[in-house]
A and B are shown apart, each in its own frame.
Chain A
Protein backbone atom coordinates (compact mmCIF):
# COMPACT_ATOMS: atom_id res chain seq x y z
CA UNK A 1 0.00 0.00 0.00
CA UNK A 2 1.33 3.41 -0.91
CA UNK A 3 1.53 6.06 1.80
CA UNK A 4 -0.57 9.05 0.76
CA UNK A 5 0.52 12.71 0.85
CA UNK A 6 4.27 12.13 0.77
CA UNK A 7 4.55 14.40 -2.27
CA UNK A 8 1.34 16.29 -2.79
CA UNK A 9 -0.50 18.17 -0.09
CA UNK A 10 -3.78 17.04 1.50
CA UNK A 11 -6.64 19.18 0.29
CA UNK A 12 -7.94 20.06 3.76
CA UNK A 13 -4.62 21.00 5.41
CA UNK A 14 -2.67 22.07 2.33
CA UNK A 15 0.34 20.20 3.69
CA UNK A 16 2.25 17.04 2.88
CA UNK A 17 2.98 14.61 5.74
CA UNK A 18 6.59 15.51 6.41
CA UNK A 19 5.89 19.23 6.58
CA UNK A 20 3.17 18.77 9.17
CA UNK A 21 5.46 16.40 11.06
CA UNK A 22 8.46 18.72 11.13
CA UNK A 23 6.38 21.68 12.36
CA UNK A 24 4.92 19.58 15.20
CA UNK A 25 8.46 18.48 16.06
CA UNK A 26 9.72 22.08 15.97
CA UNK A 27 6.87 23.07 18.30
CA UNK A 28 8.17 20.53 20.84
CA UNK A 29 11.68 21.87 20.33
CA UNK A 30 10.50 25.41 21.12
CA UNK A 31 9.25 24.11 24.48
CA UNK A 32 12.53 22.25 25.14
CA UNK A 33 14.72 25.28 24.53
CA UNK A 34 12.07 27.54 26.12
CA UNK A 35 12.36 25.57 29.36
CA UNK A 36 16.14 26.00 29.34
CA UNK A 37 15.87 29.72 28.51
CA UNK A 38 13.48 30.22 31.42
CA UNK A 39 15.96 28.32 33.62
CA UNK A 40 18.66 30.74 32.48
CA UNK A 41 16.46 33.75 33.29
CA UNK A 42 15.67 32.41 36.78
CA UNK A 43 19.34 31.70 37.52
CA UNK A 44 20.44 35.07 36.11
CA UNK A 45 17.91 37.10 38.07
CA UNK A 46 18.27 34.95 41.17
CA UNK A 47 22.04 35.49 41.34
CA UNK A 48 23.14 37.85 44.09
CA UNK A 49 24.12 41.29 42.72
CA UNK A 50 27.64 41.34 41.27
CA UNK A 51 28.09 37.56 41.31
CA UNK A 52 27.06 36.76 37.72
CA UNK A 53 30.27 36.37 35.66
CA UNK A 54 30.95 38.60 32.64
CA UNK A 55 33.58 38.38 29.94
CA UNK A 56 34.25 34.66 30.31
CA UNK A 57 33.48 34.00 26.65
CA UNK A 58 35.27 35.23 23.57
CA UNK A 59 32.89 37.63 21.77
CA UNK A 60 34.76 37.70 18.39
CA UNK A 61 34.67 33.88 18.25
CA UNK A 62 30.96 33.85 19.17
CA UNK A 63 30.30 36.47 16.47
CA UNK A 64 32.23 34.39 13.94
CA UNK A 65 30.16 31.32 14.80
CA UNK A 66 26.95 33.37 14.43
CA UNK A 67 28.05 34.45 10.94
CA UNK A 68 28.94 30.82 10.09
CA UNK A 69 25.46 29.62 11.10
CA UNK A 70 23.65 32.47 9.31
CA UNK A 71 25.68 31.72 6.16
CA UNK A 72 24.72 28.04 6.41
CA UNK A 73 21.06 29.09 6.52
CA UNK A 74 21.37 30.94 3.21
CA UNK A 75 23.16 27.98 1.58
CA UNK A 76 20.30 25.69 2.71
CA UNK A 77 17.59 27.87 1.13
CA UNK A 78 19.72 28.34 -2.00
CA UNK A 79 20.05 24.54 -2.27
CA UNK A 80 16.26 24.17 -2.04
CA UNK A 81 15.72 26.96 -4.59
CA UNK A 82 18.21 25.22 -6.92
CA UNK A 83 16.11 22.05 -6.84
CA UNK A 84 13.00 24.10 -7.59
CA UNK A 85 14.83 25.33 -10.70
CA UNK A 86 15.93 21.76 -11.58
CA UNK A 87 19.61 22.61 -11.01
CA UNK A 88 20.82 19.52 -9.19
CA UNK A 89 24.55 20.30 -9.46
CA UNK A 90 23.96 23.72 -7.84
CA UNK A 91 22.01 21.99 -5.08
CA UNK A 92 24.99 19.67 -4.48
CA UNK A 93 27.35 22.64 -4.34
CA UNK A 94 25.24 24.65 -1.87
CA UNK A 95 24.62 21.68 0.43
CA UNK A 96 28.33 20.84 0.40
CA UNK A 97 28.92 24.39 1.68
CA UNK A 98 26.23 23.84 4.33
CA UNK A 99 27.94 20.68 5.59
CA UNK A 100 31.33 22.43 5.67
CA UNK A 101 29.85 25.39 7.56
CA UNK A 102 28.21 23.02 10.06
CA UNK A 103 31.56 21.34 10.64
CA UNK A 104 33.22 24.75 11.00
CA UNK A 105 30.66 25.70 13.67
CA UNK A 106 31.30 22.50 15.65
CA UNK A 107 35.09 22.84 15.35
CA UNK A 108 34.99 26.47 16.58
CA UNK A 109 32.70 25.40 19.44
CA UNK A 110 35.07 22.59 20.41
CA UNK A 111 37.96 25.08 20.55
CA UNK A 112 35.86 27.23 22.89
CA UNK A 113 35.10 24.19 25.07
CA UNK A 114 38.78 23.19 25.10
CA UNK A 115 39.67 26.71 26.22
CA UNK A 116 37.28 26.39 29.18
CA UNK A 117 38.49 22.93 30.19
CA UNK A 118 42.14 24.09 30.24
CA UNK A 119 41.32 27.35 32.09
CA UNK A 120 41.91 26.86 35.82
CA UNK A 121 41.23 28.73 39.01
CA UNK A 122 43.86 27.79 41.58
CA UNK A 123 43.23 28.75 45.21
CA UNK A 124 46.40 28.71 47.29
CA UNK A 125 46.73 27.87 50.98
CA UNK A 126 47.30 31.57 51.81
CA UNK A 127 44.00 32.50 50.10
CA UNK A 128 45.57 33.94 46.94
CA UNK A 129 43.96 33.00 43.63
CA UNK A 130 45.82 32.25 40.40
CA UNK A 131 43.61 32.26 37.34
CA UNK A 132 44.80 31.17 33.90
CA UNK A 133 45.45 28.37 31.47
CA UNK A 134 47.21 25.19 32.48
CA UNK A 135 50.60 24.82 30.79
CA UNK A 136 52.06 21.89 32.68
CA UNK A 137 50.92 19.55 35.44
CA UNK A 138 53.10 17.07 37.34
CA UNK A 139 52.77 15.42 40.74
CA UNK A 140 55.06 18.08 42.25
CA UNK A 141 53.88 21.28 40.58
CA UNK A 142 51.57 22.98 38.08
CA UNK A 143 52.41 25.80 35.67
CA UNK A 144 49.68 28.34 34.96
CA UNK A 145 49.72 31.02 32.29
CA UNK A 146 47.60 33.85 33.74
CA UNK A 147 45.19 35.63 31.40
CA UNK A 148 46.45 38.91 29.90
CA UNK A 149 45.20 41.97 31.77
CA UNK A 150 44.82 45.38 30.11
CA UNK A 151 46.57 44.03 27.01
CA UNK A 152 49.71 43.07 28.98
CA UNK A 153 50.81 39.44 28.92
CA UNK A 154 51.59 37.97 32.31
CA UNK A 155 54.49 35.60 32.94
CA UNK A 156 53.88 31.90 33.65
CA UNK A 157 53.50 30.99 37.32
CA UNK A 158 54.94 27.77 38.77
CA UNK A 159 53.04 26.55 41.84
CA UNK A 160 54.10 23.70 44.09
CA UNK A 161 51.32 21.15 44.60
CA UNK A 162 51.70 21.45 48.40
CA UNK A 163 50.72 25.15 48.14
CA UNK A 164 47.42 24.40 46.42
CA UNK A 165 44.22 24.31 48.47
CA UNK A 166 41.80 23.88 45.55
CA UNK A 167 42.20 23.68 41.79
CA UNK A 168 39.28 23.56 39.39
CA UNK A 169 38.83 24.18 35.67
CA UNK A 170 36.04 26.24 34.08
CA UNK A 171 33.87 23.22 33.29
CA UNK A 172 30.10 23.11 33.92
CA UNK A 173 30.76 22.31 37.61
CA UNK A 174 32.67 25.58 38.20
CA UNK A 175 29.68 27.91 38.63
CA UNK A 176 26.00 28.31 37.74
CA UNK A 177 26.73 30.43 34.67
CA UNK A 178 29.02 27.80 33.16
CA UNK A 179 26.52 25.05 34.04
CA UNK A 180 23.73 26.70 32.02
CA UNK A 181 26.21 27.78 29.30
CA UNK A 182 27.38 24.21 28.72
CA UNK A 183 23.83 22.80 28.92
CA UNK A 184 22.42 25.24 26.37
CA UNK A 185 25.34 25.24 23.94
CA UNK A 186 25.94 21.47 24.10
CA UNK A 187 22.26 20.77 23.41
CA UNK A 188 22.41 23.24 20.54
CA UNK A 189 25.63 21.67 19.20
CA UNK A 190 23.94 18.24 19.26
CA UNK A 191 21.18 19.72 17.11
CA UNK A 192 23.79 21.11 14.71
CA UNK A 193 25.46 17.69 14.46
CA UNK A 194 22.10 15.89 14.02
CA UNK A 195 20.96 18.36 11.35
CA UNK A 196 24.31 18.14 9.54
CA UNK A 197 24.09 14.32 9.48
CA UNK A 198 20.63 14.45 7.87
CA UNK A 199 21.78 17.07 5.33
CA UNK A 200 24.90 14.98 4.59
CA UNK A 201 22.75 11.86 4.02
CA UNK A 202 20.47 13.75 1.63
CA UNK A 203 23.54 15.19 -0.10
CA UNK A 204 25.13 11.74 -0.49
CA UNK A 205 23.26 8.43 -0.73
CA UNK A 206 19.83 10.01 -0.16
CA UNK A 207 20.18 12.18 -3.27
CA UNK A 208 19.52 9.12 -5.48
CA UNK A 209 15.83 9.89 -4.99
CA UNK A 210 16.21 12.95 -7.23
CA UNK A 211 16.37 10.56 -10.22
CA UNK A 212 13.24 8.61 -9.27
CA UNK A 213 11.03 11.03 -7.34
CA UNK A 214 12.34 14.62 -7.62
CA UNK A 215 9.34 16.33 -5.97
CA UNK A 216 9.51 14.09 -2.92
CA UNK A 217 13.26 14.68 -2.71
CA UNK A 218 12.72 18.45 -2.89
CA UNK A 219 10.20 18.14 -0.05
CA UNK A 220 12.80 16.28 2.02
CA UNK A 221 15.29 19.09 1.42
CA UNK A 222 12.67 21.64 2.49
CA UNK A 223 11.94 19.72 5.71
CA UNK A 224 15.62 19.27 6.61
CA UNK A 225 16.05 22.98 5.85
CA UNK A 226 13.23 23.92 8.25
CA UNK A 227 15.05 22.06 11.03
CA UNK A 228 18.31 23.77 10.10
CA UNK A 229 16.75 27.23 10.22
CA UNK A 230 15.32 26.44 13.65
CA UNK A 231 18.84 25.58 14.86
CA UNK A 232 20.00 28.94 13.48
CA UNK A 233 17.07 30.67 15.16
CA UNK A 234 17.96 29.22 18.58
CA UNK A 235 21.55 30.43 18.19
CA UNK A 236 20.32 33.94 17.31
CA UNK A 237 19.00 34.15 20.90
CA UNK A 238 21.77 32.13 22.57
CA UNK A 239 24.54 34.38 21.26
CA UNK A 240 23.50 37.71 22.85
CA UNK A 241 22.19 36.05 26.03
CA UNK A 242 25.35 34.05 26.78
CA UNK A 243 28.11 36.13 25.18
CA UNK A 244 27.02 39.74 25.47
CA UNK A 245 24.71 40.27 28.46
Chain B
Protein backbone atom coordinates (compact mmCIF):
# COMPACT_ATOMS: atom_id res chain seq x y z
CA UNK B 1 0.00 0.00 0.00
CA UNK B 2 1.34 3.41 -0.97
CA UNK B 3 1.15 6.59 1.10
CA UNK B 4 -2.49 7.09 1.83
CA UNK B 5 -2.40 8.69 5.26
CA UNK B 6 -2.84 12.14 3.69
CA UNK B 7 -5.81 12.79 1.45
CA UNK B 8 -5.24 14.43 -1.92
CA UNK B 9 -7.35 17.38 -0.82
CA UNK B 10 -5.24 17.87 2.31
CA UNK B 11 -1.99 17.77 0.30
CA UNK B 12 -3.38 20.15 -2.34
CA UNK B 13 -4.07 22.69 0.40
CA UNK B 14 -0.52 22.28 1.71
CA UNK B 15 0.87 22.71 -1.83
CA UNK B 16 -1.10 25.94 -2.22
CA UNK B 17 0.45 27.16 1.04
CA UNK B 18 3.94 26.23 -0.22
CA UNK B 19 3.40 28.30 -3.36
CA UNK B 20 2.25 31.27 -1.28
CA UNK B 21 5.36 30.99 0.93
CA UNK B 22 7.54 30.73 -2.19
CA UNK B 23 6.04 34.00 -3.50
CA UNK B 24 6.57 35.67 -0.12
CA UNK B 25 10.24 34.57 -0.11
CA UNK B 26 10.81 36.04 -3.58
CA UNK B 27 9.19 39.32 -2.54
CA UNK B 28 11.28 39.30 0.66
CA UNK B 29 14.49 38.88 -1.36
CA UNK B 30 13.63 41.84 -3.61
CA UNK B 31 12.66 43.98 -0.59
CA UNK B 32 15.98 43.10 1.11
CA UNK B 33 17.96 44.30 -1.92
CA UNK B 34 15.88 47.49 -2.35
CA UNK B 35 16.05 48.31 1.38
CA UNK B 36 19.85 48.07 1.32
CA UNK B 37 19.96 51.03 -1.10
CA UNK B 38 17.81 53.26 1.13
CA UNK B 39 20.06 55.66 3.08
CA UNK B 40 18.53 55.43 6.57
CA UNK B 41 21.28 57.65 7.92
CA UNK B 42 22.53 55.20 10.53
CA UNK B 43 24.22 51.96 9.41
CA UNK B 44 22.64 50.12 12.36
CA UNK B 45 19.17 50.79 10.91
CA UNK B 46 20.17 49.24 7.57
CA UNK B 47 21.57 46.23 9.45
CA UNK B 48 18.41 45.91 11.56
CA UNK B 49 16.11 46.13 8.51
CA UNK B 50 18.13 43.52 6.55
CA UNK B 51 18.24 41.14 9.52
CA UNK B 52 14.53 41.64 10.24
CA UNK B 53 13.57 40.69 6.67
CA UNK B 54 16.01 37.73 6.78
CA UNK B 55 14.41 36.57 10.06
CA UNK B 56 10.89 36.73 8.55
CA UNK B 57 12.11 34.72 5.53
CA UNK B 58 13.82 32.20 7.83
CA UNK B 59 10.57 31.86 9.82
CA UNK B 60 8.67 31.10 6.60
CA UNK B 61 11.20 28.46 5.49
CA UNK B 62 11.46 26.82 8.92
CA UNK B 63 7.76 27.13 9.73
CA UNK B 64 6.23 25.94 6.48
CA UNK B 65 8.84 24.14 4.35
CA UNK B 66 10.35 22.39 7.40
CA UNK B 67 6.90 21.98 8.99
CA UNK B 68 7.99 23.51 12.30
CA UNK B 69 4.61 25.11 12.91
CA UNK B 70 3.11 21.66 13.39
CA UNK B 71 5.99 19.56 14.72
CA UNK B 72 6.27 17.16 17.65
CA UNK B 73 7.28 18.31 21.14
CA UNK B 74 10.59 16.42 20.92
CA UNK B 75 11.70 18.60 17.96
CA UNK B 76 10.73 21.76 19.85
CA UNK B 77 12.78 20.48 22.80
CA UNK B 78 15.85 20.04 20.59
CA UNK B 79 15.33 23.51 19.13
CA UNK B 80 14.90 25.16 22.53
CA UNK B 81 18.27 23.70 23.58
CA UNK B 82 19.80 24.92 20.29
CA UNK B 83 18.37 28.41 20.71
CA UNK B 84 19.69 28.51 24.29
CA UNK B 85 23.25 27.68 23.26
CA UNK B 86 23.07 29.88 20.14
CA UNK B 87 21.83 32.81 22.25
CA UNK B 88 24.67 32.16 24.70
CA UNK B 89 27.17 32.24 21.85
CA UNK B 90 25.76 35.52 20.55
CA UNK B 91 25.64 36.99 24.07
CA UNK B 92 29.34 36.23 24.50
CA UNK B 93 29.98 37.87 21.12
CA UNK B 94 28.06 41.01 22.04
CA UNK B 95 29.69 41.04 25.48
CA UNK B 96 33.11 40.87 23.83
CA UNK B 97 32.17 43.89 21.71
CA UNK B 98 31.90 46.25 24.68
CA UNK B 99 33.74 49.45 23.75
CA UNK B 100 36.28 48.75 26.51
CA UNK B 101 37.23 45.38 25.04
CA UNK B 102 37.65 46.44 21.39
CA UNK B 103 41.18 47.12 20.26
CA UNK B 104 41.46 48.18 16.65
CA UNK B 105 44.37 46.46 14.95
CA UNK B 106 45.51 49.84 13.63
CA UNK B 107 46.00 51.16 17.19
CA UNK B 108 48.12 48.28 18.44
CA UNK B 109 51.71 49.52 18.83
A residues lining the B interface (CB < 8 Å): 9, 13-15, 19-20, 23-24, 27, 30-31, 34-35, 38, 41-42, 45-48, 51, 59, 63, 66-67, 70-71, 73-74, 76-78, 81, 83-86, 214-215, 218, 225-226, 229-230, 232-233, 236-237, 239-241, 244-245
Contacts and interface: CB of A to CB of B under 8 A. Distances in A.
A78 B54 CA distance: 23
A36 to B, nearest CB: 11
Contacts of A83: 3
A51 B106 contact: yes
A233 B63 CA distance: 11
Contacts of B18: 74, 77-78, 81
17 contacts: A23-B79, A24-B78, A27-B82, A66-B29, A67-B29, A70-B22, A74-B22, A76-B65, A84-B3, A86-B3, A233-B61, A236-B54, A237-B58, A240-B36, A240-B51, A244-B32, A244-B33
A35 B29 CA distance: 25
Given A27-B79, A31-B86, A15 B3 contact: no
Main secondary structure of the interface of B (DSSP, over half): helix
Contacts of B2: 86, 214
A237 B54 contact: yes
B32 A240 contact: yes
B69 interface: no
Interface string B73-105: 111001101100110011011001100001111
Interface residues of B, number: 54
B50 A14 contact: no
Could you say which of A20, A70, A81 has the most chain B C-beta atoms within 10 Å of its C-beta? A70
Given A86-B3, A233-B61, A239 B90 contact: no
Given A70-B22, A245-B50, A31 B89 contact: yes
Could you say which of A19, A78, A229, A230 has the most chain B C-beta atoms within 10 Å of its C-beta? A229
Could you say which of B46, B51, B74, B90 has the most chain A C-beta atoms within 10 Å of its C-beta? B74
A54 B98 CA distance: 24
Given A30-B82, A42-B93, A59-B33, 18 more contacts: A14-B74, A20-B74, A23-B78, A24-B78, A41-B97, A45-B97, A46-B104, A47-B104, A51-B106, A63-B29, A76-B65, A214-B2, A230-B66, A236-B57, A236-B58, A237-B51, A240-B54, A244-B50
A51 to B, nearest CB: 7
B19 A14 contact: no
A42 B97 contact: yes
Contacts of A73: 22, 25, 61, 65
Interface in B1-28: 2-4, 6, 8, 11, 14-15, 18-19, 21-22, 25-26
Contacts of B36: 59, 240, 244-245
Contact of B62 (A13, A218, A233, A245): A233
